[in-house]
Amino acid sequence: MATTQVTDSSFETEVLKSDGPVVVDFWAEWCGPCKMIAPALEEISEEMDGQVKITKLNIDENQDMAMKYGVRSIPMLILFKDGEPMATQIGAAPKGKLSDWIKSAL
């Protein structure tokens, strides 16, 4: 399963009310490091299918959720469990580190 796009309007359904853990990648089109980690997140999404859902929220188009969760620097990943933010990763990181971060937060 590839990463899913979420918006301010779909955030509650896709993330907060999700049955399992969800990673939200807060990103923007102009962000170089965001584009660098995108392929790694796609691979992790497929490798961890069934364990975690990985979503992407464009902060330029969806500022409400970015403000609500205090996104000041991107890329910023937040892992939500049972509708609550459980772990945060700020900045680009190699695939292995991102995967380890997700696994440790599960």
Query: Does the active-site annotation cover 72?
Result: no
Residue 35's contacts (CB-CB under 8 Å, 6 or more residues apart) are none
Q: Which of 57, 36, 48, 38 is nearest to 102 (CA)?
A: 48
Contact 52, 106 (CB under 8 A): yes
Query: Does the active-site annotation cover 66?
Result: no
Kind and range of the H or E run holding 80: strand 76-81
Q: Which of 15, 34, 44, 65 is catalytic?
A: 34
Q: Which of 6, 22, 24, 31 is catalytic?
A: 31
Supply the residues annotated as catalytic.
Answer: 31, 34
